[in-house]
Copies of this chain bind each other. A is one copy, B any other.
Amino acid sequence: MSVSQHLTTPSIYSSSSAFFANSNFHVRPQRISLPGKSIATCKCVAVPQEEIIAYKTNVSRNANIAKLQAGYLFPEVARRKVAHLQKYPEAQIISLGIGDTTEPIPELITNAMQKKSQALSTYEGYSGYGAEQGEKPLRTAIASTFYKDLGIEEGDIFVSDGAKCDISRLQIVFGSSVTMAVQDPSYPAYVDSSVIMGQTGQFQKDVEKFARIEYMSCTPDNGFFPDLSKVSRTDIIVFCSPNNPTGASATREQLTQLVKFAKDNGSIIVYDSAYAMYMSDDNPRSIFEIPGAKEVAIETSSFSKLAGFTGVRLGWTVISKELRFSDGSSVAKDFNRIVCTCFNGASNISQAGGLACLSQDGIKAMGEVIGYYKENTEIIMETFSSLGFKVYGGKNAPYVWVHFPGRSSWDVFSEILEKTHVVTTPGSGFGPGGEGFVRISAFGHRANVVEACRRFRELYK
C-alpha cells in the first residue's frame, strides 16, 4: 500500500441519537465545516491527474476498464457541447446529437403514471417489490402487441429499465469467455460492455479496434449489411436493425441469412430492435419473424424512442425457452438469475405507463409522435441531399447518416458545431467504420430542426 500523504479528517463527528429514528427525522446538526478536497473532477472523459493523491488503496484497478478508450461517446459529445457554450455563451445551440426525444408524452400515458403514483399513497393501491421480470399484464401486452403469432409468450418477456441496461446484463450472463461480433459502425454500448466484461483484448490504435472483437463492416457498398462470408465465427453476434447509427434496416432475406449464419455457427444473436417502429419498409420488426430465430436469438427493445420514455426508463428483452447453451441449459434461466440478483425490476410507475402505451389508444398516440419525428427525418434528408451529400438511413430510422468522404468525423462534428451551433454525433464514435460520417438525429422540436437545416444550408451551400 502506498500512502504518500495521510490526511485524516481533523475531527470526530457524532450524530444525533434521534436522527432518523422514532418517527422524527431531523437534519444532522452542523459541526466543523470540512470542505471536500477537490482532487479530481469526476467525468466520463480523461482528465490529467496532476493533483496530489493523499492515499491509495492496495486494490488494483480493473484491467478491463483500463482498456476503454476515453469516455463513453455521448457524455463526450455533451462535454464538447458544454465547452462550446462556454466559448459562445449567447449561441442558440440546437442538439441533434445523442438522439434524445423532445416531444411530450401523450396524456393518456402520463395519466396512467399519475394514477399509479397517486395509488401508491393509498392502502388499496400501494405495492412494493414487484416481480423482477416485470408485471404480468405488461409482459402479456408486450408479447401480444409485438410478438403476436410468433411463438413468444408472456414468460419469455423480461421488462427492464432500458435496452442499454439489458445489454449490460446480457454481457454479465455471457461472461468473459465468449467472443463477440458487432456491426461496424454500431451503438457504442455493445463494444464497451464487451470490453468491460473482459471479452476483448487491448485497443489496437492502428486499426481503431479492440482485439478479439469481430467488426462486421457495414458500408454503402454492401448496403450496410455485412458480407457474412467474410465474418469469422463468434459466440455472440450483436445486430441492431434499424441500425443506430446508419439507419439501415435489414430485409427479411438478410435476416434469414443472419439466422442461418448463427445456426451454422452455433452463435447467439443479440438483436436490438429499439427503432423497429420507425420503419417504413416492409422489413421484419422482430428477429422472431424469421423461422428458427427463437433457437438462436435474443431480442432487446425499448419504450425510449417508442413513447418518449428516455427519462422514464422502460425496456424489455425477449428470450425464448428454446435458446440453449452448448450444455443444453436454458439461456433464459441464466438471464432470469441475473435479473433477480443484479436488478429489482423497472419502476412500477414506469410500468403503468408502459401498459397504457400498449392500449389501442396508446398505440395510436405513440404513432403520432413517431410520425412527427419521421417528418423531421425527411426534412433533414432533403436538406443534405439537396446540398449534394450522399445521405443514408432516415427512411426506416430516426437517424440520418451523412457522408463526408475523406474527412474526419470529429473534424466535421467540430466544424458543424463551430459554424452552426448544431450538435451532431461524429460517426467514428460508433466504430472505425463510421469514419467520414456524421449522424444527425431527428429528435427535436420542428422549429429547431428547420432552423438547424437552414444553418446547414448556409454552411454547405
Contact = CB atoms under 8 A, between A and B. Distances in A.
A325 B122 CA distance: 47
Given A39-B321, A114-B117, A285-B20, A148 B30 contact: yes
B349 A117 contact: yes
A17 interface: yes
Q: How many copies does the complex hold?
A: 2
Contacts of A371: 22-24
Nearest to A145: B27
Contacts of A15: 282, 284-286, 289
Contact of A282 (B17, B42, B43, B172): B17
Interface stretch (A101-109, A202-210, A215-223, A412-420): A101-109
Contacts of A59: 174, 178, 235-236, 266-268, 325-326
Contacts of A27: 144-145, 148, 363
B55 A324 contact: yes
A61 B329 contact: yes
Contacts of A128: 100-102, 308, 310-311, 443
A36 interface: yes
Contacts of A60: 177-178, 235, 325-327
A141 to B, nearest CB: 11
Contacts of A11: 291
A126 interface: yes
Contacts of A177: 60, 62-63
Contacts of A279: 19-21
A42 B121 contact: no
A367 interface: yes
Given A57-B268, A336-B43, A121 B104 contact: yes
Nearest to A349: B349
A64 interface: yes
A324 B56 contact: yes
Interface stretch (A65-73, A85-93, A403-411): A65-73
B291 A12 contact: yes
Contacts of A235: 58-60
A35 B151 contact: yes
A343 B72 CA distance: 12
A236 B104 CA distance: 44
Interface in A137-158: 144-146, 148-153, 155-156
15 contacts: A14-B252, A15-B286, A20-B278, A21-B279, A59-B178, A59-B236, A65-B173, A71-B337, A72-B341, A100-B128, A110-B117, A120-B312, A127-B311, A176-B198, A193-B341
